[in-house]
Structures are given as structure tokens and as C-alpha cells.
A and B are shown apart, each in its own frame.
Chain A
Amino acid sequence: MLKLPIYLDHNATTPMDPRVLEAMLPYFVENFGNAASRNHSFGWQAEEAVDYAREQIAQLIGADPKEIIITSGATEGDNLGIKGVFEMYATKGNHIITCTTEHKAVLDTCKHLEKLGAEVTYLEVQPDGLIDLKQLEAAMRPTTILVAIMYANNEIGVIQPVKEISAIAKKHGALFFTDAVQAVGKIPVDVNADGIDLMAFTAHKMYGPKGVGALYVRRKNPRVKVTAQLDGGGHERGMRSGTLNVPGIVGFGKACELARLEMASDTERISKLRDKLENALKQIDESYVNGNPAHRLPHVSNISFKYVEGEGLMMGFNKDIALSSGSACTSASLEPSYVLKALGLGDDLAHSSLRFGLGRYTTEEQIDFTIKAVTDTVLKLRDMSPLWEMFKDGVDIDAIQWAHH
């Protein structure tokens, strides 16, 4: 029996794996110690648990446990990584390169630094969502201290050519930071093979708890340092003060271990379901898949259904299916998704998009239900769409002088 509602918004957050919860439970009431308490067993127990989790986290990304700085999540990791490098390397330069489809935690951090004297280049992306490596190369300056490009995009799932990007940064003596929130735990990420110097990621996108994440900070070739953004007890090698969230970290560690062990089988199963969903929805006239289909996360599909509006579309099934739209109406602002607009999509296509994010517990039955519900709603709304009627009558919609509100 199909249980409703169906959750297809795994890029927003994931449910916690029950095995993660089980690992965390002893660290609330029983083993509640402060990992920084050096002189009694409560503290030692907590420290041991954190050390073990740090190894689990490091192993997933091919890092050394000492390179893992625990944070409250990826927003903090993005802030600490970018602001911390800007401050630490101020004598070397003030130029940062990023791209227009980054998460707001990166874009707004860069904007903040511009007020403090940073020069920031925002690379445009190509229509498939990938950055142009030649443009990156051309943007490098002697004062460039940091290239900050995301590993995989949260809205369309495209995976940037991280190895090539890090090579360009290295060649010009700049550090490479990547927001890898959507990638870590979903696809193989190896900080050495990928040439990553700093990387933010978080537990709740990979079946772990909310409120805990990490910033990877390279210790060798080169040794990277960031200026702390929180002053206090000097935890996390002085880079991030604050009492450690022991149960959260334990859960994060367990989630990383499960991801490492189960990634291959999860990916195989989930990508098949994603392809089934996408192939079925592509059968609808005037539907377009957004983002490079070859360089893409296995569990994401972003599709525009031209001539129907995203929020109106979701209303047709949102009591049964939870997902996101690039439509303006879903956000407080009336602007459609800036990521989709950066691909060069017209506002009309950006308004008409849905993001499907599958996950560990997505079933074929859920996908079959979703295919039918979305298809039926698109067809129903097109019957009441004046734009669809004009399109069918051969009217050039772009040639109409629309009155803008």
C-alpha cells in the first residue's frame, strides 16, 4: 500500500537513517560529556566518540581526520571557508572567483566580503549549467587567492569539472574551495584526487542530523589555514570555537560510514528510478530537462513544463507529493530561480520548473504514482493555459507586448 505523502525533495533535506539515530541516542542522556573536558571519564568518552566520528567523516572524502573542522552545517562551512581564507591570506591578495549559480551561502558571503574590500568575479555558467574553464583561466589574476566553485548544484544537480578547476587554481597559486553539500555522500568525492583545499558539507543532506556539518581544511601540499570567525575556547584547532555537538557529530560520522558503504548500490537503484521518472515526463510535449544530463547527480531531475506555472502545477499534487519548484511564487520574492535564469532560461521556463530529488527510501511505486500525478496535472493545467492555446494556434508568444506588473 502506497503511503502518502511521497517525499521527493531530498536536495532540501533527507530523513535521518534509523541507524544514525541509533548511534546518536547514547550521547544525549547517558554519555553527555563535553569532549573538551580533559580530566574525567565523561569527557574522555565524548572525545573518543568524536574522534571515531571524525575518522568516519574523513574516510568518506579521503581526508585525514585532523583536516575535519566540525561546523553547525554547510552555511557555516561556506562562511568560515571563504571569509577565513580572505582574512588569512589578505597580504597575498583580495580577489575571489566564484560563479552565479552558487548557493546563497557562498554568493552572499562573497557580497559581504566585497564591502570589506574583496574583488569578486562571478563567472557565468553555460546553458548546461557548467562553468567555462577558459573563462576561469582568463579570470585568474596575480591577486586571486580563492576559487570557490560548488561541486554539484542544488537545483539542477550538475557536477562541475572539479579536477580541472582545482588544477587551474593551483597553477595560479590560488586555493580551491568547494561547497560540496549536494555531492558528498551521493557521489565519490576524494579531496586529494579532486585537488580540493577547502570543502563545506553537511550531515542532513546525507541521512544524518540537522545542525552539524564540516569544513575540510587541507593540512599538506599546501597547508591551508583559515581565520576563525567565532572567538572562544579555541576548539577545532583554533578554527572553530564552541562546545562540540557530540550526538550530532556521532550521527554525522555514522551517516558518512553508511554513505561510503552503500553509495554504489544506492546510486544504481536511485538513478534507475530517476531515469524512469525523467523519461516518462519527457514524453509530455514541450517539457525540457534543465542542466547537463551527463554531468549530473544520480538522484536529481529538474524539468520545465512549458506553458504551465510551477506553483500552480505543484498545487495539483502537493498534498500527495513533496517537491520544489523554481517558480517565483514558491519564494517570498516574485523572482523565479536565479539558477535557472543563469542557464539562460527565459523567465517563463524558469517559472515552469519542478525539481525532483529522489533518495534512499524512494520506491518504484512512488515514482509510478508521481509520473501519473504530474502528467495528469500538466495536461489539466494546459487545458486552462492561455499560453498553451496560443502556442497551439501558432501565435508567437514572445512577440506579444506583455504589460509587466
Chain B
Amino acid sequence: MAYSDKVIDHYSNPKNVGTLDKASKSVGTGLVGAPECGDVMRLQIEVDQATGVITDAKFKTFGCGSAIASSSLATEWLKGKTIDEAVKIDNMDLVEELNLPPVKIHCSVLAEDAIKAAINDFRSKNGLEELVFEQSHV
């Protein structure tokens, strides 16, 4: 299977690989997937608590090129958005941007789940109730 140029680019030059302090109250961490499934994504956001704007985003991913590219692109999109805007990122936007084939759609679902998990982690740390999401479409 051939990868799209955008997937190859994110794989070769991933954006925002790294770790934020998960103990910090301004950081939300989402860890999704499972080693048995061949995909684990950890996505972290740092939020300006006064404005709700995501000032930094980092990821680490165990997975195929499409999983790495999905998480890399997600961190790029997250930076500068408010957490309310970030919640609206849809996995199909990632699919479209990266030209993911049908067998790789689950990688984008995982990235969307990671975003939501990170936001909820941030919310619960700051005394806000966790958002309830509908199941993403695979």
C-alpha cells in the first residue's frame, strides 16, 4: 500500500513530538489505543486557563505511519484553538487532509479520541465536568 505524500511528510518530520508535564493543572493528557491493537497514542495539550486557548500540544505514538501522521497533524491543528473549538475536530477532517485509505481510518479515530481524552483530562483537573462524546464512526 502506498502512503500519501502528506503521511510520509509527517512520518519523516513529525511535528510536536514530546512530553508535557502531566502533573501540571494546565496540561491535559489523553492516552488511547492498546499495544495489542498495534496503536497507542498519547496526546497532550497545555491550556491557558484564563482564555481556554491551547498554547502547546505534544504527542507520542506507537503505531503505523498513518497513526503517527494523524497524531502529528492533530497537534498542529490543536495549537491556537480554544478547547471548545478543539472538541469539534472530526476524524474525517484528518482522513481528508492526509488522504488516508479506508483501512487506516481507525488511526484518525484514535487521534480524535486522544484529543477528547486530553480535553476531558484537563477539564476534570480543573473542576469541570467531563464531556460525554458519541462513539466516533470507524
Contacts and interface: CB of A to CB of B under 8 A. Distances in A.
A316 B8 CA distance: 9
Nearest to A347: B36
Interface in A280-334: 307-312, 315-316, 327-329, 332, 334
A386 B36 contact: no
A351 B39 CA distance: 9
A389 B17 CA distance: 12
A385 B42 CA distance: 9
A332 B65 CA distance: 16
Given A351-B38, A402-B33, A384 B14 contact: yes
B3 interface: yes
Contacts of B37: 328, 334, 347, 404-405
B63 A312 contact: yes
Contact of A309 (B31, B42, B63, B138): B63
Contact of A329 (B11, B61, B64, B110): B64
A346 interface: yes
Interface string A381-399: 0011111110000000100
Nearest to A333: B103
A402 B35 contact: yes
Nearest to A389: B60
Contact of A311 (B32, B33, B65, B106): B65
B2 to A, nearest CB: 10
Nearest to B59: A384
Interface of A: 307-312, 315-316, 327-329, 332, 334, 336, 346-348, 351, 383-389, 397, 402-405
23 contacts: A309-B62, A309-B67, A312-B64, A312-B68, A315-B65, A328-B38, A329-B38, A332-B103, A346-B35, A347-B37, A348-B35, A348-B36, A351-B35, A383-B17, A385-B40, A386-B41, A386-B62, A389-B60, A397-B35, A404-B36, A405-B33, A405-B106, A405-B109
Given A387-B40, A405-B106, 10 more contacts: A309-B39, A312-B62, A315-B8, A316-B11, A329-B64, A386-B40, A386-B42, A386-B60, A402-B40, A404-B37
